[in-house]
Amino acid sequence: MRNNLIPKLHVNSPYELDLEVLKKNSIKGVIIDIDNTLVPWSEKYADQRVVDLVDKLLDAGFKLCILSNGTKNRVSEFNKDLKLPAVHNAAKPSRAAFKKALKLLGTEPRCTAVIGDQIFTDILGGNRLGLFTVLVVPMSSKEFIWTRFVRQIEKLILKKYKHLINKLD
């Protein structure tokens, strides 16, 4: 069995993600994290780069949903102009939140990707439900002390399983 901590893909940023790879893997829906994935942790609003990426994904035919452990306020402020389906206070890696996002998207788990910057929330939660998991490099190094500790463990996991990541069938 594949270790649930191993992402299917590891890329620098969602802005560099090759949409053809998603299409080739039958992905129809994309669940995306906000903090340190789309914008740095401290950034309140979606900038033009986010808007362009969202447009690009929607134009390419993907369905999109935000899935964030952030508060209702944080998510709705960020999502104000994007107006995407969104789940706040997700408590990732909780299965319930991912199921909620899948329901909003209306896509099957195997046809859904999750993009996020944390192995123990975004990737673990996604893999547990059989999603196509995409880990990105966190945008900002300004993080809670606990997260900074977790980053060290993430590094070890990525090193150990390097041979299994970015190897698509």
Provide the binding-site residues for Mg ion, judged by CB under 5 A.
Answer: 33, 35-36, 117
CB-wise, 137 or 164, nearer to Mg ion? 137
CB of 69 to Mg ion, least distance (A): 7
What is the distance between the alpha carbons of residues 108 and 101, in angstroms, rounded to a whole number?
11
Residue 92, CA distances (Å) to 6, 116, 141 in order: 16, 11, 20
CB of 107 to Mg ion, least distance (A): 21
CB-wise, 26 or 76, nearer to Mg ion? 76
CB-wise, 117 or 154, nearer to Mg ion? 117
Handedness of CA 38, 35, 137, 112 (dihedral sign): negative
CB-wise, 37 or 112, nearer to Mg ion? 37
Q: Taking the CA of residue 83 as centre, how many other CA atoms within 13 Å lie in the half-sphere pointing to its CB?
A: 1
CB of 90 to Mg ion, least distance (A): 10
**Nearest residue to Mg ion, scored by beta-carbon proximity:** 35
Determine the distance from the C-alpha atom of residue 51 to the mean position of all C-alpha atoms in its chain, rounded to a whole number: 16
What is the distance between the alpha carbons of residues 56 and 58, in angstroms, rounded to a whole number?
6
